[in-house]
Structures are given as structure tokens and as C-alpha cells.
């Protein structure tokens, strides 16, 4: 019997050391969501909301002022039709609203913010194309290089959540 007990111990030890194998994937999972947040858009008061989900799937929207041609003078929310994050490379395309859609191809990079939560801790750097479709279905594309700064994160909601626990 003593021999069987020693055998069962040697069988259990390798099984216990095999469990920590998934650890290397955790840093990637933390990096993507860290990029999630609001970034300044083209004009004061406009912004892009980026949400990084599982496996690099990106959702979000652009909230911008309507142009004079649409005549509304209000904000327009243009949701992402598609979006993907691979490493720090980001691409997204918005739905067409009032004949305008946006494409972004670039990367998420560290900005001038010193600490997580600071303004411009991350920036979206790349090419933003504004694609305008006229009444005759002709598409005009205007591309420009942009650096969209992440808005500062408010620390109060996190502190309030800690107090609830």
C-alpha cells in the first residue's frame, strides 16, 4: 500500500503545475481594454468613444456637430460599422449618416499623459478619412493625419465603487 500512495502523489504533482499555463494571455487582455475610452475628435466638444471587447473586436461611435448642409445644428452620433484592434493597430469604419462616413486606420500609442487616467495618456494616431456621398451617389474622400487625445479619466466613480464593497 505504501507504494501505491507514493505513486498517486507523483501523478498529482504534474497536474497541479499544469494549471498556471494560461497566464501569458492576461497582459494582452489588460492592454486592449486600457485603450477603451473617450478621445477628442476634430472640433472642440466632439469625441470618439472606443470600446475594446474580446479578441480585439472594437465598438464605439463618433459624436460630432452636424454640418451646415444637414441643417440640424445638433449632435450626430455615428456608430462603428466595423472595428478591430490587433496589438496596438486600430481600424474602424462608421455607418453613413447624412451622407458622411469616417474610416480610421492607425494605432493607439502612448501620449504625453504621465499616469493612467491623465489627459492624452493614450492617443489615436493615424489617417482619418471623411467620405461624403452626394445626391448622385458620388463619393468624395478627404483624408487627414490626426492625433486624437484620450480624455482624462475621472477617478471618483472608481473610489465610489470601492466604498460600496
The predicted-structure confidence for 85-120, as pLDDT tens digits, reads as follows 999 999 999 999 999 999 999 999 999 999 999 999
26 vs 46 pLDDT, higher one: 46
Q: Note whether residue 39 is domain-resident.
A: yes
Q: How many domains does the chain have?
A: 1
Average pLDDT over residues 115-136: 95
pLDDT tens-digit profile of 46-92?
Answer: 999 999 998 899 999 999 998 766 556 688 999 999 999 999 999 99
pLDDT at 18 over 60: no
pLDDT at 157 over 60: no
Q: Note whether residue 4 is domain-resident.
A: no
Q: Note whether residue 11 is domain-resident.
A: no
Q: Note whether residue 83 is domain-resident.
A: yes
Average pLDDT over residues 132-146: 95
Question: What pLDDT shows up at residue 153?
Answer: 83
**CATH number of the domain residue 38 falls in:** 2.40.128.30
What confidence tier does 156 reach under pLDDT thresholds 50, 70, 90? very low
Average pLDDT over residues 12-41: 59
Q: Note whether residue 15 is domain-resident.
A: no
Rounded-to-integer distance, Cα 48 and Cα 108, Å: 13
Rounded-to-integer distance, Cα 114 and Cα 160, Å: 24
As a residue count, the chain comes to 165
Q: Note whether residue 14 is domain-resident.
A: no
Q: Note whether residue 108 is domain-resident.
A: yes
Domain assignment of residue 113, given as a range: 27-152
Give the position of cell 477603451: 36
Question: What pLDDT shows up at residue 154?
Answer: 67
Amino acid at each position: 500500500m505504501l507504494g501505491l500512495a507514493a505513486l498517486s502523489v507523483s501523478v498529482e504533482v504534474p497536474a497541479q503545475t499544469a494549471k498556471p499555463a494560461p497566464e501569458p494571455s492576461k497582459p494582452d487582455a489588460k492592454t486592449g481594454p486600457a485603450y477603451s475610452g473617450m478621445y477628442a475628435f476634430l472640433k472642440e466638444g466632439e469625441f470618439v468613444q472606443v470600446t475594446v471587447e474580446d479578441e480585439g473586436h472594437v465598438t464605439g461611435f463618433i459624436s460630432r456637430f452636424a454640418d451646415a448642409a444637414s441643417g440640424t445644428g445638433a449632435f450626430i452620433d455615428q456608430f462603428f460599422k466595423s472595428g478591430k484592434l490587433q496589438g496596438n493597430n486600430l481600424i474602424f469604419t462608421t455607418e453613413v449618416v447624412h451622407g458622411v462616413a469616417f474610416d480610421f486606420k492607425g494605432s493607439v500609442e502612448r501620449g504625453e499623459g504621465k499616469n493612467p487616467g491623465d489627459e492624452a495618456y493614450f492617443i489615436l494616431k493615424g489617417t482619418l478619412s471623411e467620405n461624403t456621398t452626394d445626391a448622385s451617389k458620388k463619393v468624395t474622400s478627404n483624408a487627414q493625419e490626426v492625433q486624437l487625445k484620450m480624455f482624462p479619466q475621472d477617478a471618483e466613480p472608481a473610489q465610489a465603487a470601492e466604498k460600496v464593497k
